[in-house]
């Protein structure tokens, strides 16, 4: 788990504000479950200190990461769902960039989504909800 339920609720509200691309289930999932899915920005198998540091550096990506982590936590997995999760990460970072008028973030969003697509399949397959 990463962050408080209030932190996750803030990110969720930001997702609403930017009309984030997310699976329908995301919008009806309780905050307690989203909190268990969210691990900050970065691969889950990285040490906590590294994810925390990356999350500070890439704070604008946090809401996009919430949707992404939610999708990675699903029990049923497929390559198509993996691709869709990474595409939504890119879309949501772009929406964040436009919302904040920080358009350079779009480039970072494309890079983050590509890195996840190229190197993230193992993490996707192993992703689960964390214990409370």
Query: Can you give the pLDDT at residue 132?
Result: 57
Q: Which helix (H) or strand (E) holds 83?
A: helix 79-100
Residue 109 forms part of a structural domain? yes
Strand locations in the chain (E): none
Residue 63 forms part of a structural domain? yes
Residue 111 forms part of a structural domain? yes
Residue 17 forms part of a structural domain? yes
Residue 26 forms part of a structural domain? yes
- The residue behind tokens 């906590």 is 48
Domains in the chain, number: 1
Residue 132 forms part of a structural domain? no
pLDDT digits (tens, 9 = 90+) for 35-60: 999 988 877 777 778 777 777 777 88
Range of the domain at 45: 5-126
Residue 131 forms part of a structural domain? no
Residue 11 forms part of a structural domain? yes
pLDDT digits (tens, 9 = 90+) for 55-68: 777 788 899 999 99
Give pLDDT < 70 ranges for the chain: 1-2, 129-132
């Amino acid at each position: 788990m990463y962050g408080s339920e209030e932190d996750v609720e803030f990110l969720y509200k930001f997702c609403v504000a930017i009309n984030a691309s997310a699976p329908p289930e995301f919008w009806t999932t309780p905050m307690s479950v989203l909190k268990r899915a969210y691990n900050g920005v970065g691969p889950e198998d990285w040490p906590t200190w590294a994810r925390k540091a990356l999350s500070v550096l890439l704070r604008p990506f946090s809401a996009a990461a919430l949707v992404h982590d939610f999708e990675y936590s699903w029990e049923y997995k497929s390559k198509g769902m993996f691709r869709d999760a990474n595409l939504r990460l890119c879309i949501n970072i772009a929406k964040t960039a436009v919302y904040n008028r920080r358009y350079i973030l779009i480039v970072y969003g494309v890079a983050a989504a590509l890195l996840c697509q190229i190197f993230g399949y193992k993490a996707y397959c192993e992703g689960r909800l964390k214990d409370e």
